[in-house]
Homo-oligomer: A and B are copies of this chain.
Amino acid sequence: MTEFELIQRLIPNLPTNASVIAGAGHDCAIVDIGLADELLLLKTDAVVEGVHFTPETDARRVGHKALGRCLSDFAAMAGTPRHAMVTLGLPTGFDADWIDGLYAGMRHLAEQHGIAIVGGETTRNPERIFMSVNVTGVLPRNRVILRAGAKPGDAIFVTGELGGSILGKHLDFEPRLTEARWLAENFTIHSMMDLSDGIAGDLRHILQSSGVGAELLGRAIPISRAARQKARASLPGNGNLEIEVDTSSPALLAALTDGEDFELLFTVASADAVRLLDAWKQRFSTLKLSCVGKITANPGMRIQDKFGLRPLNVSGYTHFA
């Protein structure tokens, strides 16, 4: 059984109540606890030694990643994180200096975004470091953006450049919190999520939630320098996607399928696309924004490349594969 299958099996039976606006299956949970103008956002995520980092990884970067993954999910909802808690499972004889480094990495990122770390729990996990972070924060009531809002004709955008994050970005990425809030404040964002499993896999979640399809434009996909570098060296990606398209470019393949980009993927009405690109350049001159395709009424995912418009079939990232 894969992670995806397990989650699909568990979700229908979870207890819920009237306060839940978005529960399991969203980037963050959204709940109404009675704030006048805001909703509460809840997120938990984990990093595990040997799975998300190696024993040799610099502790500060692990701390950055552990908190950053949650913040990227807050960005996916254009939310504002406020408070974090940390659960640490540690082997006996852990290195206290390494833990200091871990916290230094979290602290640096938390301070950048005004987040307080308000406690947590420490316990044993004999074989490896296991770290779970949960973050709470807020979202204006009138600005709920889900994966389910994509509409036929929407332009599909991604921030930054994709692929090859295993070469370093998966530890050093900047969660796109400021950018996401700016987008939500200035444009009608129909659907949004953060890229953790490669655009080819993640876009499928938007399509399925929204009941639509998409056409991607191969040459518009922003391929990162790391993806090209990795392709030249024939390094494996850090994604687990299997892609059934004969792409002649291993770098494009990496950009489509590598995991942990932690960029934003979103859709807006095509009528807003040009104004958005112009305004973005004014506001965020150093971060690329790319229109990579359009939403279609016809379901499924297709990619336009030099061979024509062809189906893009991927099987999702499975943590238990």
- Which residues of A are in contact with B by a Cβ distance under 8 Å? 1, 3, 6-7, 9-10, 13-17, 19-20, 23-26, 29, 31, 33-36, 38, 40, 42-46, 48, 50-52, 82-83, 85-87, 89-90, 92, 94, 96, 99-100, 103, 107, 110-111, 114-128, 130, 132, 134, 136, 138, 319-320
* B82 pairs with A31, CB closer than 8 A: yes
B-chain residues with CB within 8 Å of residue A319 when the two chains form the complex: 122-124
Q: Which of B31, B35, B43, B132 contacts A35 (CB 8 A)?
A: B35
B-chain residues with CB within 8 Å of residue A46 when the two chains form the complex: 87, 89, 121, 123, 132
Q: How far is the CA of A40 from the CA of B126 in the complex (A)?
A: 33
Kindly report which residue of chain B lies nearest to residue A90, judged by CB atoms: B320
Given contacts A16-B117, A34-B38, 8 further A-B contacts (CB under 8 A): A9-B100, A10-B99, A14-B103, A15-B116, A29-B85, A42-B83, A44-B86, A124-B320
B-chain residues with CB within 8 Å of residue A83 when the two chains form the complex: 19-20, 29, 31, 40, 42
B-chain residues with CB within 8 Å of residue A3 when the two chains form the complex: 122-123
* A34 pairs with B35, CB closer than 8 A: yes
* B125 pairs with A125, CB closer than 8 A: yes
Q: How far is the CA of A114 from the CA of B15 in the complex (A)?
A: 8
* A48 pairs with B96, CB closer than 8 A: no
Q: Can you pick out 30 interface pairs between chain A and chain B where the beta carbons lie within 8 Å of each other?
A: A1-B94, A1-B96, A6-B96, A6-B122, A15-B117, A17-B116, A23-B116, A23-B117, A23-B118, A23-B119, A24-B118, A24-B120, A26-B119, A29-B83, A33-B40, A33-B82, A34-B36, A35-B35, A42-B83, A42-B136, A48-B124, A48-B125, A50-B126, A51-B124, A52-B123, A87-B134, A92-B320, A125-B125, A125-B128, A125-B130
Q: How far is the CA of A123 from the CA of B89 in the complex (A)?
A: 14
Q: How many copies of the chain does the oligomer comprise?
A: 2
Kindly report which residue of chain B lies nearest to residue A1, judged by CB atoms: B96
* B123 pairs with A51, CB closer than 8 A: yes
* B45 pairs with A121, CB closer than 8 A: yes
Q: How far is the CA of A50 from the CA of B40 in the complex (A)?
A: 35
* B124 pairs with A44, CB closer than 8 A: no
B-chain residues with CB within 8 Å of residue A9 when the two chains form the complex: 96, 100
Of A9, A25, A122, most buried by chain B (CB within 10 Å of CB) is A122
Known: A83-B31, A136-B40. A107 touches B320 (CB 8 A): no
Of A1, A34, A118, most buried by chain B (CB within 10 Å of CB) is A118
Cβ distance A10 to chain B, nearest Cβ, rounded Å: 6
Cβ distance A36 to chain B, nearest Cβ, rounded Å: 7
Q: How far is the CA of A34 from the CA of B44 in the complex (A)?
A: 22
Q: Which of B42, B117, B320 contacts A14 (CB 8 A)?
A: B117
* B29 pairs with A119, CB closer than 8 A: yes
Known: A19-B116, A134-B134. A121 touches B31 (CB 8 A): no
